[in-house]
């Protein structure tokens, strides 16, 4: 593959990752999803991360894992939500991602533990997420995370 083909492929994967992320978010926001749409939401979230994994960076992978965990949480599939949440925490720690990304990784784990009715672990991860929120310098990002934490 030459450089030009590589750049075109990168643009394709970038486009698809973003499109599928947005498609997933639209389904998450939909209040009257059908069972078929629930399955589609799972597939689009995983497909978005797949495309990021081709040419993205650790930050993209983290956001993808977070969205997958959130989809499973929304569907009350606690074990799957926890698996992807913990994978995200590990990814963030290995890549030295802090603040917004690590805060949301902890948020997803706390949300999964809520579904799994593990109050102790839920509170432990909420505390970690709130600590990370304090490290976020962007006021909008900080408020967004804190607002999401209040929904757990």
Residues 66 and 128 in one domain: yes
- Number of structural domains the chain divides into: 2
Helices (H), 30-118: 35-55, 58-74, 78-94, 100-115
70 shares a domain with 2: no
pTM: 0.95
Do 82 and 13 sit in the same domain of this protein?
A: no
Q: Are residues 102 and 115 in the same domain?
A: yes
**In CATH, what number is assigned to the domain containing residue 63?**
1.25.40
For 82-104, how does the pLDDT look when each residue is reduced to its tens digit (9 = 90+)?
999 999 999 999 999 999 999 99
Within this chain, do residues 76 and 134 fall inside the same structural domain, yes or no?
A: yes
* pLDDT digit string (tens) for the chain, length 152 residues: 788 888 999 999 999 999 999 999 999 999 999 999 999 999 999 999 999 999 999 999 999 999 999 999 999 999 999 999 999 999 999 999 999 999 999 999 999 999 999 999 999 999 999 999 999 999 999 999 999 999 99
Same domain flag for 80 and 141: yes
Helix 78-94 and helix 100-115, axial crossing angle in degrees, nearest 10? 160
Are residues 138 and 95 part of one domain? yes
Identify the domain boundary among 39, 56, 73.
Answer: 56
68 within 8 A of 27, measured Cβ to Cβ: no
Co-location of 67 and 131 in the same domain? yes
Which residues form the domain of 105? 57-152
């Amino acid at each position: 593959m030459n450089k030009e083909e590589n750049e075109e492929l990168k643009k394709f994967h970038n486009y698809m990752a973003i499109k599928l992320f947005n498609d997933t978010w639209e389904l998450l926001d939909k209040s009257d999803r059908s069972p078929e749409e629930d399955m589609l939401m799972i597939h689009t979230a995983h497909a978005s991360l797949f495309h990021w994994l081709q040419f993205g960076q650790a930050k993209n992978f983290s956001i993808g894992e977070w969205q997958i965990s959130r989809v499973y949480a929304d569907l009350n599939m606690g074990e799957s939500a926890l698996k992807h949440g913990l994978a995200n925490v590990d990814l963030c720690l290995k890549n030295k991602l802090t603040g917004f990304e690590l805060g949301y990784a902890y948020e997803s784990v706390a949300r999964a533990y809520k579904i799994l009715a593990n109050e102790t672990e839920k509170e432990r991860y909420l505390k970690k997420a709130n600590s990370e929120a304090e490290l976020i310098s962007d006021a909008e990002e900080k408020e967004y995370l804190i607002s999401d934490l209040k929904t757990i």
